[in-house]
Structure 1
Amino acid sequence: MSTDVVILAAGQGSRMRSRLPKVLHPIAGKPMVRHVIEAAESLEEARLHVVVGHGADRVRESLSDVSANFVMQEEQRGTGDAVARTLDALGDGPVLVLYGDVPLIQPDTLAALMEGVDAHHMALLTVRMAHPHGYGRIVRDEQGRATAIVEEKDASEAQKRIQECNTGILAATGAHLKRWLPQLSSDNAQGEYYLTDIIAMAAAEEVEVLTREPHGHYEVQGVNDRVQLSALERIHQHHQAQRLMREGATLADPGRIEVRGELSVGRDVFIDVGCVFEGTVSLADGVVVGAYSVIRDAHIGEDTTIEAHTLIEGAEIAGAGQIGPFARLRPGTRLARGARIGNFVETKNARIGEGSKINHLSYIGDSELGRDVNIGAGTITCNYDGVSKHRTEIGDGVFVGSNSALVAPLRIGRGATIAAGSTITDTVDDDSLAIGRSRQTQKSDWVPPHRR
């Protein structure tokens, strides 16, 4: 049976002090609401309904790739009113209500919450807190059944001492919600339509309220300001670090790693401090990542060493590579086994053959290098003519002397040598020496300007 999932994402988040809608503020480089959506999509046959309001266009644009029904709540009049806006789109089966600013809810918690929701049962996620100030309290009868939720501002002194709190996350059938939500009243301290009032309606109709608790409080912590956002970021990163260590990685400092996407690791991986991983990254067995490196959407083959302060984006490294320090591998870079990229080298859309080396201060773009090529310091491929990009092809065993300019389109044959300081514009034959520089001249009567 399909499950309708209603995600409330209409709030302004004024305490964030930002022009960005609150639910779009990121955790691990991804909008909070997207974390919630991914958890919801773990449920079988989930149908998403996102209630938007403040910054609705930006929220829709950010989630343009998500298959969801977007519903407008122009005036924020409480959670009950927000869910009521979706009633016409809901079926009569199970409905789960989530919040776009509660980003760390876990799929297994949602699966457990949905168990048993039917015509005679609804479900509520609760949490026990030593200091529950500000939270709605769960009121139970003599048999221990949940019968109501009382908000802090409406609670009596006795009710304020209750430590079991409402998280706002609940599930009921669409048939029940279609009957209960139109009966909500705004006669309360906030003047809002509380979704939580349906608990008392369920109890009055003898619909049992099943309660579940999350594995940790962090799953139900919402974000109202940047301090809370930062706290959840650290919790999320802590969990990522623990996962990586269990999967075979050694982290020099588990508190100084940032995973902003999907990072997979093999055995005996070592990650030094301050490294950032974005998008989809895989590190094979034996990879070493030096301090303060940034790796984005890349595969790093086994036994590769990445020295400190290296930026890799959209690249593939076959294995046994040596990269950095202070290197930049841009999208389209492909390194064969044993290739080496040294300090202050930049590559883009370049295939570097097995055993080839670019060790210092060079730019290699739109190029294909064969095996065992040596690129001298200060070499650049001049791949852009102001309108179009052109390719440079360098054969096996080529030696390019320092400070050379290779003007594309260009082919350098197998085993050729390029003299240092050359500007090469024409094809170089196999096993030949190319010299592209003027003959040195000297003026013995030269007087420098400062002596004139």
Structure 2
Amino acid sequence: MGNRYAIVLAAGQGTRMKSKLYKVLHPVCGKPMVEHVIDQVSSLGLHKIVTIIGFGADLVKSQIGTRSEYALQEEQLGTAHAVIQAKDLLQNEKGTTLIVCGDTPLITSETFEKLLKHHEETKAKATILTAYAEDPTGYGRIIRKNTGEVEKIVEHKDASDEERTIQEINTGTYCFDNESLFKALSLVSNDNVQGEYYLPDVIEILKNQGEIVAAYQTEHFEETLGVNDRVALSQAEETMRKRINKRHMINGVTIIDPNSTYISAESVIGSDTIIQPGTVISGKTTIGSDCEIGPHSEIKNCQIGDHTTIRQSVAHNSEIGSLVAIGPFAHIRPESQILDEVKIGNFVEIKKAVFGKGSKASHLSYIGDAKVGSDVNLGCGSITVNYDGQNKFLTTIEDGAFVGCNSNLIAPVTIGKNAYVAAGSTITDDVPSESLSIARARQVNKENYANRLKNKE
């Protein structure tokens, strides 16, 4: 096996997407299309990857980073014109070059490897990745000789009635002998209606030179989908979602209803975890073993330990420990750290707070910009009043403290270790350890007052 290279075509704007976002940056299961392609290509152990960028060049580069080198296509004049932009980086290399479009997020490294292997075994100068299409309308058809060698590619609009019955189609992914590729590119003409330089013309040039052109037909037509509009984007999303869910189920995760469960490509989930219907797990989320998530929960960029339950709740950009119970209807906002054995109950909102081991906020509370120790109990309606209209302040609640229902803790303030705050208190000063703080008006009962009001009326 000789040296291998890849060129990823990612310069197009994608006008049919009707979007401000450049086409290859549209996400599929939470990851931009072009990044899916780069991930699969990178796993092949290639000597060099070159991504052709154009529209949104800086955004594409920031997404892919150092995993690729880049060549700029300033004008979009066709696929052959795009490939020739990699000339300075690749033209003197010997080996095989894989060319793939950045809007084909479903192609796997296994398919790429089979294509490369077939190309090298047949000693072809070019190999086309083909697929069998139930409905080949709109695709270029692969015309083969009796020997199986490719004779030509015929575009749908140019095909005869007989040729249109052929169901083997060109997917737009190719392997080339690298030196032959760049020599042939110099011969490609733009003498066509669009005035563009087309990569399939290289196939015809090589054929006319007497070179071998092969084709490898993948068994998985759905992998070859090119995303050019929002309809195809939804199809890619559905296929990728099924693939991701299947992978997790094979690895020991129970997904009750895969059709209503959305898991990002980067998420990691431990065995014996149960994902209930209507759950969305996105970003770089890690969930431990023996958890139960959902139903109807939204988890994004979180790290979650083992044996944790999250029901009908939202958690973003936070760390959640083991043996934690969250929900229903809780909201864990970014930069929160929920330690082990914590209970966060219904209609509790946590924001940028540390919640110590074994602590509880069971109902109807807001705990923001706070440091809560271990074994703390926050009664129903406990509020950390963290904002004065200009600045946020920290509330500290030390180990073992008990905060009664409907209490307001006006930050900055500290509730000491094992201290008690009486229900209904508004705390403006620190509460010493082992103390009871009562900060509410004394109750006054005015007997017969109701009768006096009635008589007055």
- What's the TM-score once normalised by structure 2's chain length? 0.90
Match of 1:282 among 267, 286, 289: 286
Structure 1 residues 206 and 284: alpha-carbon distance in aligned structure 2, compared to 1, 3 A threshold: same
> Which is further off, 330-339 or 350-359?
330-339
Map of 1:92-103 to 2, 5 A cutoff? Answer: 92-93=93-94, 94-103=96-105
Q: CA RMSD in A?
A: 2.6
Q: Which residue of 2 aligns with 1:107?
A: 109
Contact 1:330 1:346 in 2 (8 A): yes
Q: Does the residue aligned with 1:213 lie in a helix, a strand or coil?
A: strand
CA distance in 1, matches of 2:124, 2:111: 21
Q: Is the 8 A contact 2:356 2:375 kept in 1?
A: yes
8 Å contact kept, 2:380–2:404: yes
Which residues of 2 match residues 299-448 of structure 1 at below 5 A?
A: 299-308=303-312, 310-441=313-444
Which residue does the alignment assign to 1:32? 33
- 1:174 pairs, out of 174, 178, 187, with 178
Q: Map 1:240-259; keep pairs closer than 5 Å.
A: 240-259=244-263
Tell whether the 8 Å contact from 2:284 to 2:300 is kept in structure 1 after alignment: yes
Q: Which runs of structure 2 are paired with 1:55-134 in the superposition (5 Å)?
A: 55-56=56-57, 58-60=59-61, 62-63=63-64, 67-74=68-75, 76-91=76-91, 92-93=93-94, 94-115=96-117, 121-134=125-138
Asked if the contact 1:148–1:197 (Cα under 8 Å) also holds between the matched residues in 2, the reply is: no
1:194 aligns to 2:198 (yes or no): yes
Cα 1:273–1:184 change in 2 (3 A) is: same
Q: Compute the displacement of 1:58 (Å).
A: 4.8
Contact 1:73-1:85 at 8 Å conserved across structures: no
Shift of 1:355: 1.8
Q: Using the alignment, how far apart are the partners of 1:46 and 1:230 within structure 2?
A: 33
Contact map agreement 2:38 2:64 (CA 8 A) in 1: no
1:435 and 1:219 map into 2 onto residues whose CA distance is 67
Contact 2:244–2:265, Cα closer than 8 Å, also in 1: no
Measure, in 1, the Cα distance between the counterparts of 2:372 and 2:308. 19
Structure 1 residues 372 and 57: CA distance shift in structure 2, 3 A: closer
* Amino acid in the other structure paired with 1:141: K
User: Aligned residue for 1:265?
Assistant: 269
Please give the alpha-carbon distance, in whole angstroms, between the structure 2 residues aligned to 1:252 and 1:326.
20
Structure 1 counterpart of 2:35, one-letter code: R
- 1:233 alignment partner in structure 2: 237
Q: Which amino acid aligns with 1:423?
A: T
SS of structure 2 residue aligned to 1:262: coil
Taking a change above 3 Å as real, the CA distance of residues 64 and 204 of structure 1, as seen in their structure-2 partners, is same
CA distance in 1, matches of 2:379, 2:342: 14
Q: Which moved more, 1:364-373 or 1:418-427?
A: 364-373
CA distance in 2, matches of 1:400, 1:389: 21
CA contact (8 A) 1:60 1:70 kept: no
Shift of 1:163: 2.2
Identity %: 42
State the 1:364 CA deviation.
1.3
Secondary structure at 1:80 match in 2:
helix
CA distance in 2, matches of 1:314, 1:192: 46
Q: Structure 1 residues 86-95 or 222-231, which shifts more?
A: 86-95
The corresponding residue for 2:295 is 291
Partner of 2:267, secondary structure, is strand
Give deviations 1:425-450, integer Å, cap 9, x for gaps. Answer: 222222210112233456787999xx
1:51-90 deviation line (CA, Å, top 9, x unaligned): 334454554555567543141241x332112212222222
Distance 2:404 2:249 in 1: 44
Offset of residue 117 of structure 1: 5.1
Query: Would you say the 8 A contact 2:302–2:315 is kept in 1?
Result: yes
- Note the C-alpha offset of 1:406: 1.4
1:60–1:266 distance in 2 versus 1, CA, 3 Å = closer
- Indicate the SS of the match to 1:115: helix
CA contact (8 A) 1:374 1:398 kept: yes
List per-residue Cα deviations over 1:229-274 (Å, max 9, x = no partner).
1111111111111112111222221100111342222222111111
Aligned length: 448
Give the residue type in structure 2 aligned to 1:397.
G
Amino acid at match of 1:439: R
Structure 1 residue 383, shift from structure 2 partner? 2.8
Aligned residue in 2 for 1:43: 44
Cα pair 1:109 1:215 within 8 Å, conserved = no
Question: Helix, strand or coil: the match of 1:236?
Answer: helix
The amino acid of 1:22's aligned partner reads K
Q: Partners of 2:69 and 2:259 in 1: how far apart?
A: 36
* Equivalent position amino acid for 2:377 in 1: N
Q: Kindly state the Cα deviation for residue 341 of structure 1 after the two structures are TM-superposed.
A: 0.1
Give the counterpart of 2:166 among 162, 166, 175. Answer: 162
| Runs of 5+ consecutive residues of structure 2 not aligned to the other structure | none
SS at match of 1:390: coil
Kindly indicate whether the alpha-carbon contact (under 8 Å) linking 1:307 and 1:325 is maintained by their aligned counterparts in 2: yes
- Contact kept in structure 2, 1:147 and 1:199, CA below 8 Å: no
- 1-structure distance, mates of 2:269, 2:318: 16
Tell me which moved more, 55-64 or 126-135: 55-64
| Aligned residues of 1:154 and 1:188 also touching (Cα < 8 A) | no
Measure, in 2, the Cα distance between the counterparts of 1:179 and 1:380. Answer: 72
Counterpart CA distance in 2 for 1:132 and 1:79 is 21
